[in-house]
């Protein structure tokens, strides 16, 4: 549609130009020629106009490294070729006794070259106007994109500042809680050694979770297992010792490093959704190191309650953290049945 409108404008422009020029000739010296003559005449020079603008100039300015030099040379070649074509057309349309010698006639040569230059200069001027408009549009789009990118960067920077402020504000509550837990521990320990131990284990676990959440450093599996043992011990106190989880290890894994809270999240999910009250059917946590890969397998009977109907958000967050830290280097397999749940994580740590 846009090209159709453009060509329609060109046709209207040429029509008005030709009518104007023929009217000037008629009122000045009078028209001397047939309709066929003027059709060939204007068709010839209009062709020169478009060849110069859309072939020659487009090629030299978009396809060559020295557009001014190549356009100058090609314009000279273009003028020469069109002059020879004009001589041939005039020779066959209007035969004269001198024939092809007409091309060397000074008056004929100058008048035709002037006419060719008239159309070449006109098409060049129009082409450069369009070229300038394209450059302006391109620069405008580039400038607009730059402003959009700067605005986007400012928004991101503002979000980072907001996140940092929110994080710094969030530090107040945990540290206040730790101080409170220390006070509670010192008070409760005199009354109940097990309750005091539970408070201290909880404090250590929360401190580990907080410190791990503010650092990108990995921890050893040994450090992670210390927190897992603390988590299990706290929940044993909750359930009067009726909590059974068996941990099995294979391979030299103690000093292997992983992102923090992986094992803590796995065991927390087992305790939250599993039925771990039977010594005969305990939860099983297997840690296996083989061929530069760590395999974490957790399985447990499910507690028959609404809480076990759906996997917790902790495992969803864990999967996102693994995707960020080990892209393409881990797999997770979940089997979630009515009375049984298992989770297998395989991470390549080489």
Beta strands across the sheet bearing 340-348: 245-250, 283-290, 293-301, 340-348, 330-336
Averaged pLDDT of the chain: 79
Q: How confident is the model at residue 205, as a pLDDT?
A: 74
**Cβ–Cβ under 8 Å, residues 18 and 43:** no
| The pLDDT of residue 34 is above 80 | no
Residue 309 or residue 165, greater confidence: 165
Residue 93 sits at the vertex; the CA angle it makes with 87 and 95, to the nearest 5 degrees, is 80
Rounded CA-CA distance 199/258 in Å is: 27
| The pLDDT of residue 174 is above 60 | no
User: What is the pLDDT averaged over residues 276-301?
Assistant: 92
Per mean pLDDT, which range of 114-118, 203-207, 284-288 is the poorest? Answer: 203-207
pLDDT band (50, 70, 90) for residue 345: very high
**Cβ–Cβ under 8 Å, residues 333 and 297:** no
Strand partners, 338: none
Q: Which residue intervals of 94-220 are DSSP H helices?
A: 106-170, 172-188, 193-213
Q: How confident is the model at residue 316, as a pLDDT?
A: 86
| The pLDDT of residue 48 is above 50 | yes
Backbone angles phi, psi at 30, to 5 degrees: 90, 140
Which two three-digit tokens encode residue 52? 């110069």
pLDDT band (50, 70, 90) for residue 12: confident
pLDDT in tens, 121-164: 888 888 888 888 888 888 888 888 888 888 888 888 777 766 66
| The pLDDT of residue 320 is above 50 | yes
Phi-psi region of 245 (alpha: psi -120 to 50; beta: other; left: phi over 0): beta
Per mean pLDDT, which range of 19-23, 48-52, 247-251 is the poorest? Answer: 19-23
Q: How confident is the model at residue 94, as a pLDDT?
A: 67
Residues in the chain, overall count: 350
| The pLDDT of residue 222 is above 60 | yes
Q: How confident is the model at residue 37, as a pLDDT?
A: 72
Sequence-distant (≥ 6) Cβ neighbours of residue 274 within 8 angstroms = 283, 300, 301, 302, 303, 308, 341
Report for 19-28, 144-153, 200-209: range of highest mean pLDDT: 144-153
Report for 1-5, 26-30, 236-240, 304-308: range of highest mean pLDDT: 236-240
Q: How confident is the model at residue 57, as a pLDDT?
A: 85
Phi-psi region of 86 (alpha: psi -120 to 50; beta: other; left: phi over 0): alpha
| The pLDDT of residue 273 is above 70 | yes
pLDDT band (50, 70, 90) for residue 309: very low
Residue 103 or residue 259, greater confidence: 259
Instruction: Please state, in angstroms and as integers, the Cα–Cα distance from residue 322 to each residue in 262, 331, 345, following that order.
Output: 9, 9, 10
Pick from 260, 258, 282, 279: nearest CA to 270: 282
Q: How confident is the model at residue 298, as a pLDDT?
A: 95
| The pLDDT of residue 256 is above 80 | yes
SS3 292: coil
Domain architecture of the chain: domains with CATH: 2-140 (no CATH), 242-348 (3.30.565.10)
Q: How confident is the model at residue 102, as a pLDDT?
A: 65
Q: How confident is the model at residue 170, as a pLDDT?
A: 47
Q: How confident is the model at residue 295, as a pLDDT?
A: 95
SS3 327: coil
Pick from 200, 178, 180: nearest CA to 189: 200
* Burial tier of 302 (Cβ tally within 10 Å: 0-12, 13-18, 19+): middle
| The pLDDT of residue 258 is above 80 | yes
Q: How confident is the model at residue 330, as a pLDDT?
A: 94
pLDDT band (50, 70, 90) for residue 231: confident
- What global pTM score does this model have? 0.49
């Amino acid at each position: 549609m846009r090209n159709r409108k453009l060509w329609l404008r060109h046709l209207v422009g040429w029509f008005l130009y030709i009518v104007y020029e023929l009217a000037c000739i008629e009122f000045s010296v009078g028209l001397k020629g047939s309709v066929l003559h003027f059709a060939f005449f204007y068709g010839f020079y209009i062709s020169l106009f478009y060849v110069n603008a859309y072939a020659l100039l487009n090629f030299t300015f978009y396809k060559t490294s020295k557009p001014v030099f190549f356009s100058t040379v090609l314009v000279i070649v273009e003028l020469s070729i069109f002059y020879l074509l004009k001589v041939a057309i005039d020779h066959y349309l209007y035969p004269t006794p001198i024939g092809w010698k007409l091309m060397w006639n000074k008056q004929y040569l100058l008048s035709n070259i002037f006419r060719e230059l008239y159309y070449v200069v006109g098409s060049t001027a129009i082409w450069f106007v369009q070229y300038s408009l394209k450059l302006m549009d391109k620069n405008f789009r580039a400038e607009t994109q730059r402003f959009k990118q700067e605005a986007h960067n400012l928004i991101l920077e503002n979000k980072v500042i907001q996140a940092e402020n929110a994080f710094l504000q969030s530090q107040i509550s945990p540290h206040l809680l730790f101080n409170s837990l220390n006070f509670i521990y010192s008070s409760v320990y005199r009354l109940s050694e097990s309750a005091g131990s539970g408070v201290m284990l909880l404090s250590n676990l929360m401190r580990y979770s907080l410190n791990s959440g503010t650092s990108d450093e990995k921890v050893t599996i040994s450090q992670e297992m210390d927190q897992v043992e603390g988590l299990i011990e706290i929940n044993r106190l909750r359930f009067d010792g009726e909590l059974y989880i068996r941990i099995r290890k294979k391979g030299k894994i103690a000093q292997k490093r992983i992102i923090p809270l992986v094992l803590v999240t796995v065991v927390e999910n087992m305790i939250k959704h599993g039925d771990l009250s039977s010594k005969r059917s305990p939860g099983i946590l297997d840690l296996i190191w083989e061929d530069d890969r760590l395999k974490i397998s957790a399985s447990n009977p499910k507690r028959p309650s609404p809480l076990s109907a759906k996997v917790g958000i902790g495992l969803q967050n864990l999967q996102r953290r693994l995707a960020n830290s080990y892209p393409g280097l881990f797999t997770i397999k979940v089997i979630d049945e009515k009375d049984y749940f298992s989770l297998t994580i395989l991470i390549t740590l080489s």
